[in-house]
Amino acid sequence: MTDARATIGLTGLAVMGRNLARNIARHGHTIAIHNRTVAKTTSLIDDHGDEGDFVATESLEEFVAAIEKPRVVLIMVKAGEPTDAVIDDLVPLLDEGDIVVDCGNAHFSDTIRREERLQEHGLHFVGTGVSGGEEGALNGPSIMVGGSDEAYERLGPIMESIAAQVDGEPCCAHVGVGGAGHFVKMVHNGIEYADMQLIAESYDLLRSIGGLEPAAIADVFAEWNQGELESFLIQMTSDVLRHTDAGTGKPFVDVVKDAAEQKGTGRWTVQSALDLGVPITGIAEATFARSLSGHAEQREAARKVFSTSPEDDTVEVDQQAFVDDVRAALYSSKVVAYAQGFDQIAVGAEENGWDIDLGQVAKIWRDGCIIRARFLGRITEAYAEEPDLTTLLTTEFFADAVKEGVDAWRHVVATAAQGGVPVPAFGSSLSYFDGLRRERLPAALIQALRDNFGAHTYQRVDREGTFHTAWAGDLTESES
Ligand code: NBP
């Protein structure tokens, strides 16, 4: 029987689990490791066993026995059924007070269900979002922890020690109880979708309308990365656009098939937003844009019928001025995407009874995760000044930036439409902004139509009450 000498255990040693285990070991924690297929455990020890104190185990029984009580068991397997399968196998082996931590990309509703189930066995279940891909898992991810306060007391110090650090502060926090960790991670991924779509639209505009080649656009992004747009994704865009395909000598971006994948978290974010009634138009358009890119047959059919020849869509622009306008449009659209994402977290928190500190969320996204950016510091400041902020858009810093960039934003969206370049995220973000600031919206007409065809009633601007007009009769108004 193995001695219970590990302070933590981790099962699931594919890319993410392997790197997370190494990160934990490198930070001086003794870690028990396990994988369904033993070869992955052996390979981790063979390749990296000297990086820390690993306790390699072959069976789940041996794994559980190797961890000090109350045990902390991290699960890093494929989300969905595999996670349930691992939990089913683990539960009979654990003792009351043990803490099971799902670090995979679970849907927050699964996390809520699993926590309730494990509570019946006297076990803590902690849904934890881990962002930063395999590199982050190894060198410091951003970690969004849910579950109980009690579980965090034992788990928190370990997770905080392995997370990315900014100014001595860990990019790890107990964001809220229950499924809050996975909910926040889901919205993070949704914002990541919007961020990438906005970057992709900027690239398309600079190339198709601005007339710049990928290498020149790489320079533009590198320059943008020196200013307020500084972020991991902007830097990465510059690197990718500068890359030339070794086989063909073409810009790398030209040899990659233009159909984007979506693993599901973008879709979950949009589905949840619809349930919550939160307009996250940037994230939704980004998700749909990926779907559209994958509809090869429809795209081909449309190309055959509607010309895509460049002459049809030529728009003359001043190149440098256009580059500046696209930068301003990107920044404003990004403010909208984040404002919408934080709005969703606020409403989701209220709906589920989670006390989520939005400023703290921005803080733990400053490093380690895919959407890490300078910009997030401003969001933290905004929530520190006004914790109950109605929308990020109206805080002085962002409002000033949007006011300054709004003409450029309009110009870019109008030019894109004229030039036949699709900008669903830029366009919808601008419409969202205009929708919010408009004195009167055409929703008034929609309410009148609904009352006409379905007697859904309406409210008036000039007096209290609920009203109906006899549309099929004498058009008299009655109050209900
Ligand atoms: P995968 O998502 O590819 O999962 C592979 C792991 O799941 C292997 O360890 C595999 O064991 C194990 N597994 C499966 Br599949 N079915 C199992 C079962 N029934 N019982 C026990 N183990 C089972 O690994 P990953 O890409 O490292 O991701 C792990 C988690 O982290 C996922 O939830 C993912 O969504 C999340 N995540 C990934 C990233 C990323 O960048 N990849 C980023 C953030 C979060 P085997 O070796 O025996 O087949």
- Measured from the Cα of 14, ligand 1's closest atom is 27
Q: How far is the CA of 79 from the centre of ligand 1 (A)?
A: 7
Give the residue numbers marked as catalytic: 185, 192
- Site to probe by mutation for ligand 1, drawn from 78, 81, 103, 110 as the one with most ligand atoms within 8 Å of Cβ, is 78
Q: 89: Cβ below 6 Å to ligand 1?
A: no
Which atom belonging to ligand 1 lies closest to the Cα atom of 12? 9
Backbone CA torsion sign across 376, 382, 385, 388: negative
State whether the beta carbon of 14 lies less than 6 angstroms from ligand 1.
Answer: yes
Answer whether residue 131 shows pLDDT above 90. Answer: yes
- Which amino acid, one-letter code, is at 372? R
**Rounded mean pLDDT of 59-73?**
97
User: What is residue 261's predicted lDDT score, i.e. its pLDDT?
Assistant: 74
C-beta of residue 361 within 8 angstroms of C-beta of residue 387: no
For the CA of 11, the nearest atom of ligand 1: 9
Q: Is the CB of 13 under 6 A from ligand 1?
A: yes
Ligand 1 lined by 80 (C-beta under 6 Å): no
Ligand 1 pocket test: which of 10, 13, 19, 36 has the largest number of ligand atoms within 8 Å of its C-beta?
36
Q: What is the pLDDT of residue 313?
A: 62
Share of the chain above pLDDT 70, in %: 98
Q: What is the pLDDT of residues 182-210, one digit of tens each?
A: 999 999 999 999 999 999 999 999 999 99
Indicate if ligand 1 lies below 6 Å from the C-beta of 40.
yes
Give the CA count within 13 Å in the CB-facing half-sphere of 226: 5
d(CA 392, CA 398): 7
For residue 362, name the pLDDT band (cuts at 50, 70, 90): very high
Of the chain, the percentage scoring pLDDT greater than 90 comes to: 95
Residue 81 pLDDT: 96
Q: Which two tokens stand for residue 9?
A: 């255990």
Four-CA torsion 154, 156, 157, 162, nearest 10 degrees: 130
Q: State the SS3 of the chain.
A: CCCCCECEEEECCCHHHHHHHHHHHHCCCCEEEECCCHHHHHHHHHHHHHHCCEEECCCHHHHHHCECCCCEEEECCCCCHHHHHHHHHHHHHCCCCCEEEECCCCCHHHHHHHHHHHHCCCCEEEEEEEECHHHHHHHCCEEEECCCHHHHHHHHHHHHHHCCEECCEECEEECCCCCHHHHHHHHHHHHHHHHHHHHHHHHHHHHHCCCCCHHHHHHHHHHHCCCCCCEHHHHHHHHHHHCECCCCCCEHHHHCCCCCCCCCHHHHHHHHHHHHCCCCHHHHHHHHHHHHHHCHHHHHHHHHHCCCCHHHHCCCCCHHHHHHHHHHHHHHHHHHHHHHHHHHHHHHHHHHCCCCCHHHHHHHCCCCCCCCECHHHHHHHHHHHCCCCCCHHHCHHHHHHHHHHHHHHHHHHHHHHHHCCCCHHHHHHHHHHHHHHCCCCCHHHHHHHHHHHHCCCECCCCCCCCEEECCCCCCCEEEC
Cα–ligand 1 centroid distance for 105 (angstroms): 9
Locate 83 and state its tokens. Answer: 């996670």
Count of Cβ atoms closer than 10 Å to residue 459 Cβ: 11
Q: What is the pLDDT of residues 410-428, one digit of tens each?
A: 999 999 999 999 999 999 9
Across all residues in the chain, what is the average pLDDT? 96
Residue pLDDT, tens place only, 160-182:
999 999 999 999 999 999 999 99
Query: Separation of 158 CA from ligand 1 center, angstroms?
Result: 21
82 lines ligand 1 (CB under 6 A): yes
Q: In which band, very low, low, confident or very high, does the pLDDT at 5 lie, cut at 50, 70 and 90?
A: very high
pLDDT of residue 4: 86
pLDDT at 1 over 90: no
Other CB atoms within 10 Å distance of the CB of residue 285 = 27
Q: Is 37 in the pocket of ligand 1 (CB under 6 A)?
A: yes
78 CB under 6 A from ligand 1? yes
103 alpha carbon to ligand 1 midpoint, in Å?
Answer: 10
Nearest atom (ligand 1) to Cα of 131? 44
Q: Retrieve residue 54's tokens.
A: 């690993």
Give residue 447's pLDDT band: very low, low, confident or very high (50, 70, 90): very high
Write out the two tokens for 7: 């302070």
Q: Look at residue 312 and tell me whether its pLDDT is greater than 90.
A: no
CA of 123 to the centre of ligand 1 (A): 23
Ligand 1 contacts CB of residue 15 (under 6 A): yes
Give the model's pLDDT for residue 311. Answer: 56
Rounded distance from Cα 83 to ligand 1 centre (Å): 9
List pLDDT tens digits, range 343-352: 999 999 999 9
C-alpha 433 to ligand 1 mean position (Å): 39
Residue closest via CA to ligand 1's atom 12 equals 77
